[in-house]
Structure 1
Amino acid sequence: MNTTTTSTTTGRTVTANLALTLDGRYHGPAGPGDFGAFVPYVTTDTARDHMTRLWTGATTAVLGRTNAEGFLGFWPSVADDASADPRDRSYARWLVETEKVVFSTTLTEAPWERTRIVNAPADQVIRDLKNQGEGEILVNSSASIIKALLDADLIDRLHLMILPEILGGGPRLLDDGLPASAWTLAHQETGERGEIAAVYDRAR
């Protein structure tokens, strides 16, 4: 198992995380709620340790509206749940307490604390964030934002959970037309179910 390396980019590091099937899907063909194939893998020790790695250096969470509504409707209750896994509680507390930037074309006011709503191109917003504050900027499981930032070559680190499932339908993260880029493997871990937690750093 390799150890995670430090990014060599200037300014704040932009990281992103997503779970993908073997055929590159981030949800199934039935739509954004089609996560049945993902469920057996998201509570494994490998997945929880992977989640801990991705948020511990981050001071800003970036989400799309749909993910924000799902995450912030679920995780706050976990933060104080004594029966929850300690790794889940720690992530939940971080998500509640950290600065959040949510992309939305419909919301005008944030219904969550420490949250700013933005309606602007993703690359513009991320460039602005890189020029202010400290700590990593985590694009948290929001595929449309990740795609836009890959297109603009603004992601420094990718945290990927690769699941041993082929869905045969549903959207893929890596579409044709993205600019070519090289990545180095910074960390890899395989779980008991065959899931692979991988961290890739952009080679610049």
Structure 2
Amino acid sequence: MPKKRRVVAWVTMTMDGYTSGPEGPAHDSWLYEHVKREASAAYFEAIWRGASTVLMGRTNYEGFYSVWPAITRDPATDPRYQDLGQFLDTVEKVVVSRTLETADWSNSRIARDLEAEVKELRGTPGRDILVVNSASVIQALLRADLVDDLRFVVVPTLLGGGLRLFEEGIPASTWALAQSTVLPDGAIGLHYERA
């Protein structure tokens, strides 16, 4: 029997647990300043290179699609970001949404039933299924007990409000620390595996 693919939830958040501030992701300068750093890019690259499917919610999909194709085509873009852009262009992208009508980015499709989709993906050949910074999708997968790895980057910022990753209703579970990484800007990368 083939080995089940791992579901890896990857999120960048503040020290007080927010994935975006009260005004939404477009106003999260703390996040953009962090991800532009060389060490952060190298850390993220190690995560996405292990995936052959990217799973995200509608908001993240629309945000990524609005910027990455242009970044990828811009000859002035740093080669590491061009590589990430090419990965995002070519990787299988599954967008979880009840309202999105079309997914026009190459190799994208819409999934209406998150649990059924992830269970099916886990049984297909491929590398990791990477859930990219989509708090609502990660929360739903934790409730369904479908997350194998939690990958956090905790940025040394306090927002005091916004969208939290962990809200009431997330079931209790136990995790083991697989790796921790201190990045030069004071952010900490944490990799937990299901215990």
Fold shared, TM-score > 0.5 on shorter chain:
yes
1:116 equivalent to 2:115? Answer no
Equivalence for 1:50: 43
Contact 1:31–1:170 (CA under 8 A) maintained in structure 2? yes
Q: Percent identity?
A: 39
Superposed displacement of residue 27, structure 1: 0.7
Cα distance in 1 for residues equivalent to 2:102 and 2:18: 32
Q: Which runs of 4+ in 1 moved over 4 A?
A: none
Superposed displacement of residue 124, structure 1: 2.0
1:193 equivalent to 2:185? Answer yes
Equivalence for 1:130: 122
Cα distance in 2 for residues equivalent to 1:150 and 1:34: 27
Q: How many residues align?
A: 193
TM-score by length of 1: 0.87
Unaligned 5+ segments in structure 2 are none
What one-letter code is carried by the residue in structure 2 that aligns with 1:62?
A: L
1:23 to 2, 7, 16: 16
Superposed displacement of residue 156, structure 1: 1.0
Equivalence for 1:75: 68
Contact 2:19–2:133 (CA under 8 A) maintained in structure 1? no
What one-letter code is carried by the residue in structure 1 that aligns with 2:123?
A: N
Contact 1:61–1:98 (CA under 8 A) maintained in structure 2? yes
Equivalence for 2:32: 39
Contact 1:186–1:201 (CA under 8 A) maintained in structure 2? yes
1:155 equivalent to 2:147? Answer yes
* C-alpha RMSD of the superposition: 1.6
What one-letter code is carried by the residue in structure 2 that aligns with 1:108?
A: E
Equivalence for 2:52: 59
What one-letter code is carried by the residue in structure 2 that aligns with 1:69?
A: E
Deviates more, 1:40-49 or 1:136-145: 40-49
Cα distance in 2 for residues equivalent to 1:63 and 1:55: 13
> 1:200 aligns to what SS in structure 2?
strand
1:181 equivalent to 2:164? Answer no
2:95 to 90, 97, 102: 102
Unaligned 5+ segments in structure 1 are 1-9
